[in-house]
Amino acid sequence: MLKRVYVWEFPVRLTHWINVLGIASLSITGYYIGNPFVHAVSTDQYIMGWMRFIHFVAAYLFAVSFLIRIYWSLAGNKYASWRVFNPFSAGKFKELKEITKFYLFMKKEPPTGVGHTACATYVYLGLFILFIVEILTGFALYSQSHVGFLWKLMGGWMLSLFSAQTLRLYHHLIMWLIIAFSIAHVYIGWLLDRAERSGIMSSIFSGYKTVEEE
Amino acid sequence: MQDDNLFAGLSRRGVSRRDFMKFCTAMAATLALPSSFVSQIAEALEKKQKPYLVWLEYQDCAGDTEALLRANKPTVAEIVLDILSVDYHETIMAAAGKQAEKSLMDVVKNHKGKYFVVVEGSIPLKDGGVYCCVGGKAAIDIAKEVCGNALATIAVGTCAAYGGLPAANPNPTGAVGVKEAVGGTVVNLPGCPVNVENITATIVHYLTFGSLPTLDGLGRPYFGFGKRIHDNCERRAHFDAGQFVRKWGDEGHRLGWCLYEMGCKGPAAYQNCPTMKYNEKTSWPVQAGHGCIGCATPNFWDTMTPFYKRLPKVPGFGVETTADKIGLGIAAAAAAGVAAHAIASSTKKKESEEK
């Protein structure tokens, strides 16, 4: 018997899509800020001004989305819980071995499971750390032009530990890591959608997966 | 001989009352004070006893001394400092040898706690400080004695403030800034070279208010280092518009567009260059068509390089390998991995279907 399971609750889906929009707009505008590839023809234009404005607005949106997701890891269902991301929880290594075998064509079927795969939880944990570094370095750089206690607290304190240029470099490099993640993420979604036949791709819109009843 | 007050000394050198008031106004502006303070500054300079000032020079290029002396006509600021620094200045004093060292020690002995010390250059600490000695004494020992008995120490130039070029990686002499070497009350006036207006303003602040100017976390006075260069830059409008110099001497460079793409570090540097400028307000790097190198930033030689690129080089990679090349490589590797997996996956599927 097949049954429909409500896996991704609304806040999980919402933050996911804010992140998609955020990462896309932050990457494009951020790349422009680091390397202005379009030049204005007249001083009346405001290209860099707009790029920075969009970057800052998207950054706030992304940071808030990250906070909502943190909150939901405490308040949400078992698929969203922080416990899923505990790298040392029982049986995690075995699950990781199983899913890795599937990715390396050593097994035909992916391991059964409803929420994140073991591999995904490790990757997302790393991704969350990258997000935190990106948000902190971003606000540290922002605090140079926006002086105030709030921005000092949100990242400006990092400037007393690292030089602005070092922060700028890592802020930029991590963007590429997140882009590389996004490519792999979409592909694996498609791969599992085909292999599991649980509707993983549509689940991030609807929240529901279709799984075999146990 | 010391004159009774600053203005008496100035008028003897042919400085008119009008020029003196102009100087006081400029100082009020430098210190970010309203014009109502001009008369207070003038009064202080007229009435107060001049403070004694000695100028010590250690590991440096004498660039700060050059900055002080380079004016093409004697300015009021220069004369003020000239009068102040008559007691001891290694590069410009007439005395030499033991006599010179004696005059320094005389100031320390006779005016204990009442004189200013200006230090130019970093102080080496490695191997007992042997890498910089004056009159057979290590710089660190002289500085400890002279700065320790002073009213306040003013570290001029990035070397004296934070170690500067001698302290750049690998720092063979163990060079440090004055504050780190001797502690105590130190006003840092970094810059390569220091802006002389900022030295004068610091002393005028003391003469007027009896206290040193408010300092930031890096020991720099807010009046000179509280604002970001990028925010006060005369080319800022071109930055916001999106008009950038792409190559030295190109159309944009000739039209005075923003030097951001040429590696200008104005967005990460703090000093009053855009408003004070250098050499009697003649010009400053960005006005002259060269990006800021962030010379007033601690460790600027290590952290602000490469000067002509936006981003530093990625640690562990060659100079020509930029962050974008590496990043693009990572993203391309992810895409290639995905493509390879997809191809392998579809072949496998076909095989199993054929069976």
Element (H, E) at B107: helix B97-110
Mean pLDDT, chain B, whole residue set: 88
Distance CA A31, CA A176 (A): 10
Higher local confidence (pLDDT), B336 or B23: B336
Pairs of CB atoms within 8 A across A/B:
117
Distance CA B220, CA A91 (A): 56
Contact between B135 and B102 under an 8 Å Cβ cutoff? The reply is no
Provide the β-strand partners of residue B242: none
Q: Which of A193-197, A203-207, B193-197 has the highest mean pLDDT?
A: A203-207
Q: Does domain A2-212 have CATH number 1.20.950.20?
A: yes
Q: What does the domain layout of chain B look like in residue ranges?
A: 6-225, 229-303
Distance CA B105, CA A89 (A): 71
Residue holding tokens 């800022």?
A: B236
| Chain A residues 148-177 with CB within 8 Å of chain B | 160, 163-166, 168-169, 172-173, 175-177
For B284-339, what is each residue's pLDDT tens digit? 999 999 999 999 999 999 999 899 999 998 888 877 778 888 999 999 999 999 99
The pLDDT of residue B81 is 59
Q: Which fold has domain B229-303?
A: Cytochrome-c3 Hydrogenase; Chain A, domain 2 (4.10.480)
DSSP chain A: -EEEEE-S-HHHHHHHHHHHHHHHHHHHHHHHHHS--S--SSTT--HHHHHHHHHHHHHHHHHHHHHHHHHHHHHS-TTTSGGGG-TTSTTHHHHHHHHHHHHTTS-SSPPP-SS--HHHHHHHHHHHHHHHHHHHHHHHHHHHHS-SHHHHHHTGGGGGTS-HHHHHHHHHHHHHHHHHHHHHHHHHHHHHHHHH-S-HHHHHHH-EEEEE--
The rounded percent of chain B whose pLDDT value lies above 70 is 93
Contacts of B268 in chain A (CB under 8 A): 144, 163-165, 168
For A36-89, what is each residue's pLDDT tens digit? 999 998 889 999 999 999 999 999 999 999 999 999 999 999 999 999 999 888
The pLDDT of residue B323 is 87
Q: In the predicted model, what is the mean pLDDT of residues B212-239?
A: 95
For A89-137, what is each residue's pLDDT tens digit? 888 888 899 999 999 988 888 888 888 999 999 999 999 999 999 999 9
Provide the β-strand partners of residue A212: A2
What is the distance of C-alpha B102 from the center of its chain?
A: 31
Is 50 exceeded by the pLDDT of residue B1? Answer: no
Is 60 exceeded by the pLDDT of residue B349? Answer: yes
Q: What does the domain layout of chain A look like in residue ranges?
A: 2-212
Closest chain B residue to A106, measured at CA:
B348
Inspect the interface and report whether the beta carbons of B341 and A187 lie closer than 8 Å: yes
> Among the residues of B192-283, which ranges form H helices?
196-209, 222-225, 229-232, 236-241, 251-254, 273-276
Q: Which residues of B touch A (CB under 8 A)?
A: 217, 228, 230-231, 237-244, 246, 252, 260-261, 265, 267-268, 297, 299, 303-304, 310-312, 314, 323-324, 326-328, 330-331, 333-335, 337-338, 341-342, 344-345, 348, 352
Contact between B249 and B234 under an 8 Å Cβ cutoff? The reply is no
The verdict on A183 touching B (C-beta cutoff 8 Å) is: yes
SS3 for B41-90 is HHHHHHHCCCCEEEEEECECCCHHHHHHHCCCCCCHHHHHHHHHCCCEEC
Provide the β-strand partners of residue B138: B133
Inspect the interface and report whether the beta carbons of A34 and B239 lie closer than 8 Å: no
Q: In the predicted model, what is the mean pLDDT of residues B40-62?
A: 86
Residue holding tokens 């093409």?
A: B72
Q: In the predicted model, what is the mean pLDDT of residues A185-193?
A: 94
From the candidate CATH numbers 3.40.50.700, 3.40.50.1980, 3.20.20.10, 3.40.50.970, the one assigned to the domain spanning B6-225 = 3.40.50.700
Q: In the predicted model, what is the mean pLDDT of residues B265-289?
A: 92
- Residue ranges with strand state E in chain B: 52-57, 88-89, 115-120, 123-124, 133-134, 137-138, 152-156, 175-176, 186-189
Q: How far is B243 from chain A (nearest CA, A)?
A: 5
Distance CA B338, CA A183 (A): 8
In sign, the C-alpha dihedral spanning B308, B311, B314, B317 is: negative
The pLDDT of residue B71 is 58
The pLDDT of residue A113 is 83
The pLDDT of residue B97 is 87
Q: In the predicted model, what is the mean pLDDT of residues B114-124?
A: 94
Is 90 exceeded by the pLDDT of residue B162? Answer: yes
Mean pLDDT, chain A, whole residue set: 93
Provide the β-strand partners of residue A211: A3
In sign, the C-alpha dihedral spanning B160, B161, B164, B170 is: positive
Q: Which tokens is B288 given?
A: 């002259």
Inspect the interface and report whether the beta carbons of B327 and A38 lie closer than 8 Å: no
Give the confidence band of B77 by pLDDT, cuts at 50, 70, 90: low
Q: Which of A35, A163, A175 is the closest to B310 by Cβ?
A: A35
